[in-house]
Amino acid sequence: MTFPTLTPTSREFTPGAWPIKSYNSQSGAEVRILYGSQRTNAKLSLSYENVTDANAQLFIDNYAANIGTLRTFTLPSAVRNGWNGSSATLDAPAGTAWRYEGEPQLRSVRPGRSSVTVNLVAVI
Amino acid sequence: MAKVYTGRDGRLLIDGTEQIKVSSWTLTGALEVLETTTLGDSQRSYAPGVQEFNGSATILYYKDDTGRNDAATALKKVLRVAGVSSSDTVTLRLRLVDGNTNSDVELTAYITSVTFGASVGEVSRADISFQGTGALTAVTI
């Protein structure tokens, strides 16, 4: 099951980081060691405010289809609507894919309308 | 025939009883809207949310020859020894009259505030505010 093709009402992206460890000697010198070549742990928080209940249900269904936080998946371009930069910039870094970081949060606003927040993390 | 409504055409009925000395009433209807604008949109869009009805009225604190005091009906909904229960609603019918034709809005409401007093040189009057609960029960405007 693919991720719902809906445009979010707000989006928050953090690009992740390379696995680097820093060591400080007593002299104050810092040594940094790169343990991997890929940027990981990028995060994407998507909010869908006041969508129909049917659309809100798509996220719960997708969460279930991916067995919660187990499976990884790609995102449709609709997730990046409104972003004029390169689509790759707001996507999972090369070699990684998205998975749910936690459970989607669904808030019923009024009969027939709900708001959903999903938090994703990019992993290898 | 053209008709301009004025205060002379206004009526207020509480629980079906037309109030004798009403000097004013107002009704406000509001619709809460839910924003459905998404990223990339250039214009805001909305979906209808819940409605709300409230208003106010001013009734003279007046006792007629039979001892009837209209203002007391509303005042007693708030000014009371016992607490207010969920059944302490009133049915308000706000009316504008044109001959035999009435333009009505009816709603069930709680009286949410009352103000009345006495001042030298002034008629005692009660200002009441009401908050509708549920849908309007009649609209003929």
Best of B39, B43, B51 to disrupt the A interface (most A CBs within 10 Å) is B39
Q: Are the C-beta atoms of residues A4 and A55 closer than 8 Å to each other?
A: yes
The distance of A38 to chain B (nearest Cα, Å) reads 29
Q: List pLDDT tens digits, range B18-42.
A: 888 899 999 999 999 999 999 999 9
Query: Are the beta carbons of B39 and A49 separated by less than 8 Å?
Result: no
Q: Report the pLDDT value the prediction gives residue B74, as an integer from 0 to 100.
A: 82
Q: Answer yes or no: is A17 within a domain.
A: yes
For residue B7, the model assigns a pLDDT of 92
The predicted-structure confidence for B79-118, as pLDDT tens digits, reads as follows 888 888 888 999 999 999 999 999 999 999 999 999 988 9
Q: Does residue A3 lie within any of the structural domains? A: no
In this predicted model, what pLDDT tens digit does every residue of A77-115 receive, in sequence order?
Answer: 999 999 999 988 999 888 889 999 999 999 998 889 999
β-bridge pairing A113-123 and B22-35? unpaired
**Confidence category of residue B121, pLDDT binned at 50, 70, 90:** very high
A51 in a domain, yes or no? yes
Q: Which residues of B touch A (CB under 8 A)?
A: 34-41, 47, 49-50
Give a yes or no: residue A57 inside a domain: yes
Question: Where is B12: in which H helix or E strand?
Answer: strand B10-14
CATH class of B7-140: mainly beta
Query: Which range is least confidently modeled, A71-75, B11-15, B76-80?
Result: B76-80
Q: How many CB atoms lie within 10 A of CB A76?
A: 13
pLDDT of res. A77: 93
Domains contained in chain A, number = 1
Domain ranges of chain B: 7-140
Residue A1 belongs to a domain: no
Q: Does residue B70 have a pLDDT over 80?
A: no
Beta A30-34 vs A105-110: how paired, if at all? unpaired
Q: Contact B85/B98 with Cβ under 8 angstroms? A: no
Residue among B34, B39, B50 minimizing CB distance to A50: B34
Give pLDDT, residue A73: 95
Q: Which phi-psi region, left, alpha or beta, contains residue B52 (left: φ > 0; alpha: ψ -120 to 50)?
A: beta
Distance from CA of A69 to the nearest CA of B (A): 26
Q: What is the rounded CA–CA span in Å between residue A49 and residue A62? A: 18
Could you tell me the two tokens for B134? Answer: 């549920």
Instruction: For residue A28, give its domain range.
Output: 10-123
Q: What does the pLDDT look like over A9-54, one tens digit per residue?
A: 999 999 999 999 999 999 989 999 999 888 889 999 999 999 999 9
pLDDT of residue A124 exceeding 90: no
- How many angstroms away from the CA of A8 is the closest CA of chain B? 6
In this prediction, residue A106 carries a pLDDT of 97
Confidence category of residue B62, pLDDT binned at 50, 70, 90: confident
State percent of chain B over pLDDT 70.
100
Segment B49-63 shows an average pLDDT of 91
Q: What is the pLDDT of residues B37-47, one digit of tens each?
A: 999 999 999 99
CA distance A117 to A106: 7
Residue A5 lies in a domain: no
> How does residue B69 score in pLDDT terms, banded at 50, 70 and 90?
confident
Q: Is residue A46 part of a domain?
A: yes
